Amino acid sequence: MEDVETSIPARFERIVLSYPERWAVKMGKQALTYDQLNLYANRIAHAIIEKRHHGNEPIALLFDYGIDAIAAILGVLKAAKCYVFLDPKFPPERMRYILEDCRASLLVTNSQRWPDALKLHSGQISLLNTDHLDSSLPYHNLRLNILADELESLSYTSGSEGHPKGVKQTHRVSLSSYEVISQRRPARPDDRLSLVHSLSFESAKLHLHQALLSGAALFPFDVQRDGVVQMAKWLEEEQITIVHMPPALFRQLAECLPAPEKLRSLRLIYLSGAPITKLDFELYKNHLPKQTLMGCHMATTETRATCSAIIDQEFCFPDRGTIAGYAFSDRQVLLLDAYGKQVGPGQVGQIAIKSRYLNSGYLNRPELTEAKFLSDPNQGDERIYLTGDRGQLLPDGFLIHLGRMDRMVKIRGYRVELDEVERRLNEHPGIRIAAVEAWDRDGGEKYLAAYLVARTEDRPKADQIQSFLRETLPPYMIPAAFVFLDSLPFTNGKVDRQSLPKPGHARPELGTPYAGPSGAIETSLAEIWQEVLDIRPIGMHDNFFDLGGHSLAATRVVSRVIQKFQIDLPLQSLFQSPTIADMAAVITGHQGETLDDNGLATILDELESLSDEEAKRLVNPQGQKNTRG
């Protein structure tokens, strides 16, 4: 493919010449044309060169969701550097590790994240604020000779050795993924594409390229801030034509979507990041227009896009596994047995990807690169990546995904190495040994359960362990259940994970003593919480987030509370009252107020805007310990 033997800036600048006045990116009331976005990115690129001179090196980016982040990514690439995106929701310790591991020399941010950048600042790294660029910086293209095999980005994923690992990605690999996906589901210049993933997420890069390298308009939407109810309205109002999201988000969105006839502009919904279930397919059939197609693909950070399928509502979903689709034209799917030999037709094996367009390996981890990336046995220029996934090929080459072979799972669309969570748990002073497993809830969503052996009889409480984990792990890596055992089951010196019991529905041990609800309001609230969290009993002083609650679960709780009591409650008062007793007092104080449909939508929007950590900070704005757990 000749078009991959270039760079992303070169391809983007060709699009700018073709569509200078078309919208490139629009978020809320802010929009930039291709020409305006290009000029903005050029000034950032010149500022980076002024600070760091020429040469490919990692540049860290710290931005909230939005246009500034997209311009900064382009600016780094135009400066012939590679970028590593730091999600502001990551704990500071995780960000510091990434900065040290990639040896970034410059951290680019804006005024909104400047205070956080200052906390990460050290003698080895300098800062650049894109809100205060020197007015003398030029606007013209830099026209640097960027080779296809130069590093474009470093993507950090959860690592089994206890720390995130950086995957090296070149311009050639990124462009090859864009090319093969465009052959199967091309974006047109009149398309409007959503961007709902975190920019540290591999799927976000894919959609970024699909829009900005085709002349289409990219519409970022911050689900954490604006919520699924508002997203449903946004799809209709902005006439989005291609939407891409994790299955877990689609399950929340589907119930909020307007009537199918109001979504006639939506021609493709693409789900990725976690296995697609039969439930997802039924939601697609029941809530989207007949003409809207559904897409899925299998991809890894190491291989980018590998397989895909575009289906309609007449598709026959398999009874076993989930759909991955057909391999792209420049990739070959192999199924290998335990000895690395290809299995026969219809048999199950480890999915391996063979291509010349694989990422170049892991940063600073040559042994891991050698173990996961194999040379072509025919001594060609292709390599083979061992995915750790199990699969089965149908006679026509359609791949069915049958789950993981190793210790990586997807939690709410995020890639999580269970060993990394285990390592952190084993650092807790009150825990002798820990094991972590993932379990399925009804509907196919996974959650983490920690199995713990305490050092003493005075074992730590679940809320204390969660607080310890939150110091270094993002919210989606915090277990929802904690099971204490006298000892872990072992076989041949290894934890016998199949013997670990599935967590029950009992209330976890918390620092707060159990006190049953009293009165009709508290009893009703307890029933709602127990239904959503699948825990019984729940005490009147138990903290919602210490019970394993997160932002999506909070949305379900609040919607049921509003519908049950038919009252209009401000969001902040609910999050400042995270126990049944406190929430009951708030409800009592608001009884008699009238709730209209607009009020309900507003409350749900605001609630969904908070992550678990943001909600926790709102409950304790000064970071003080919650004496109720």
Q: What is the CATH number of the domain that holds 400?
A: 3.40.50.12780
Residue 421's domain comprises 408-499
Residues 446 and 487 in one domain: yes
* Cα–Cα dist 211/268, whole Å: 14
State which residues of the chain have pLDDT below 50: 607, 610, 612-629
DSSP state for residue 607 in the 8-state scheme: H
Q: Are strands 293-300 and 268-271 parallel, antiparallel or unpaired?
A: parallel
pLDDT digits (tens, 9 = 90+) for 422-475: 888 988 999 988 999 999 876 667 899 999 999 888 999 999 999 999 898 988
253 φ, ψ (degrees, to nearest 5): -70, -35
User: What does the pLDDT read at residue 162?
Assistant: 66
Identify the H or E element spanning 245: strand 242-245
User: What does the pLDDT read at residue 574?
Assistant: 54
User: What is the domain-level CATH number for residue 556?
Assistant: 1.10.1200.10
Compute the CA torsion angle 560, 563, 567, 572 (nearest 10 deg).
30
Pull the structure tokens for residue 489. Answer: 């089951």
Is 199 inside any structural domain? no
User: What does the pLDDT read at residue 610?
Assistant: 47
Q: For residue 123, how far is the Cα from the chain centroid?
A: 31
Residues 457 and 589 in one domain: no
Residue with tokens 């050698």: 370
Residues 76 and 121 in one domain: yes
Q: For residue 136, how far is the Cα from the chain centroid?
A: 38
Is 369 inside any structural domain? no
Q: What is the DSSP string of 164-179?
A: -EEEEEEHHHHHHHHH
Q: Note whether 281 and 292 are within 8 A (CB).
A: no
Residues 384 and 244 in one domain: yes
Residues 339 and 425 in one domain: no
* Cα–Cα dist 500/496, whole Å: 7
User: What does the pLDDT read at residue 627?
Assistant: 31
User: What does the pLDDT read at residue 284?
Assistant: 94
The amino acid present at 14, given as its one-letter code, is: R
Residues 398 and 427 in one domain: no
User: What does the pLDDT read at residue 153?
Assistant: 96
User: What is the domain-level CATH number for residue 431?
Assistant: 3.30.300.30
Residues 29 and 124 in one domain: yes
Rounded to two decimals, what is the model's pTM? 0.74
pLDDT digits (tens, 9 = 90+) for 500-518: 999 988 888 888 889 988 8
User: What does the pLDDT read at residue 600?
Assistant: 54
The closest alpha carbon to 611, from 234, 85, 99, 91, belongs to 91
With residues binned 3-state (H G I as helix, E B as strand, rest as coil), the percentages for the chain, rounded to 5, are 35, 25, 40
User: What does the pLDDT read at residue 596?
Assistant: 59
* Cα–Cα dist 503/142, whole Å: 57
Residues 178 and 246 in one domain: no
